[in-house]
Amino acid sequence: MESNDTHAIGHAVFFTLKNRDAASIRNLVDECKTLESFQGATYFSVGERGEGFDRPVNDQDFDVALYVVFKDRPAHDEYQAWPTHKEFIDRNKDSWARVRIFDSLIG
């Protein structure tokens, strides 16, 4: 396997909320947007789970999905220690029932 340092890193985070109402979902989407300014990211998006994606292969056990692509592994690691990221976690973690994170090499 090649070094992670030379590949872009895809970072997908799926949040399941304790309170799954529309206002709580909108709030978390807005909170996630505070992470968009990270300089080592080449792509950022966040949104709620789409209605109607109900094929047997579609996972329905999440409310908000966050996608970030980092330019490389060092940028990913810097993001984990970024004060804005840590503040986001501290502000929101009590509202989460479950968080799943999928990191992958891109390119």
Instruction: Identify the architecture of domain 4-106 in CATH.
Output: 2-Layer Sandwich (3.30)
In what helix (H) or strand (E) does residue 35 lie, and over which residues does it extend? none
Give every strand in the sheet of 64-70, ordered side by side.
Answer: 41-48, 64-70, 8-17, 96-106
What are 41-76's pLDDT values in tens digits? 999 999 999 988 989 999 899 999 999 999 999 999
Are residues 86 and 79 in contact, defined by beta-carbon separation less than 8 angstroms?
Answer: no
> In this predicted structure, what is the pLDDT of residue 107?
81
**pLDDT average, residue stretch 79-107:** 97
N-to-C CA span, the chain: 13
Q: What is the DSSP letter of 23?
A: H
Please give the model's pTM, rounded to 2 decimal places: 0.92
What are 2-52's pLDDT values in tens digits? 556 779 999 999 999 999 999 999 999 999 999 999 999 999 999 999 988
